[in-house]
Amino acid sequence: HGAAEPEETGTEALPRRTPAPAWLPTAKGEEGDFCLRSSDCAAGLCCARHFWSKICKPVLREGQVCTRHRRKGAHGLEIFQRCQCAEGLACRGQREQHGPADASRLHTCQRH
């Protein structure tokens, strides 16, 4: 008669916790790669939400539409976040005299 094997609890099979998930590349992420923070992405990219995950997206250039938040913390509510404007640019409202009434709500990256 063979000895009864101890019942496996399953805890030994669990992978050890590592500082970064295994799916994160060791090199800086390119556009579209998954990330946790902007430092995971290559130069000129930031880590921003895309649906329910975060990916590396390009930092906004002059003239590109940007998001300006009225309330602190509102950025976290978006499912499609945009990066911030590139260095030397600010997210400002359009100054168009003609056009649709909601044009004033459209913000673009502009020089300081």
Asked whether residue 5 is assigned to any structural domain, the reply reads no
**Which range marks the domain in which residue 44 is found?**
33-69+76-94+105-111
Asked whether residue 15 is assigned to any structural domain, the reply reads no
- The pLDDT assigned to 77 comes to 67
* CATH number of the CATH domain containing 63: 2.10.80.10
Asked whether residue 2 is assigned to any structural domain, the reply reads no
Asked whether residue 43 is assigned to any structural domain, the reply reads yes
- The pLDDT assigned to 27 comes to 83
Cα separation, 73 vs 109, in Å, equals: 20
The tokens for 94 are 């359009």
pLDDT mean values, one per 10 residues, the chain (112 residues): 52 52 71 96 96 96 88 68 95 68 77 88
Asked whether residue 24 is assigned to any structural domain, the reply reads no
- The pLDDT assigned to 35 comes to 97
Structural domains of the chain, count: 1
pTM over 0.75: no
Asked whether residue 27 is assigned to any structural domain, the reply reads no
- The pLDDT assigned to 97 comes to 47
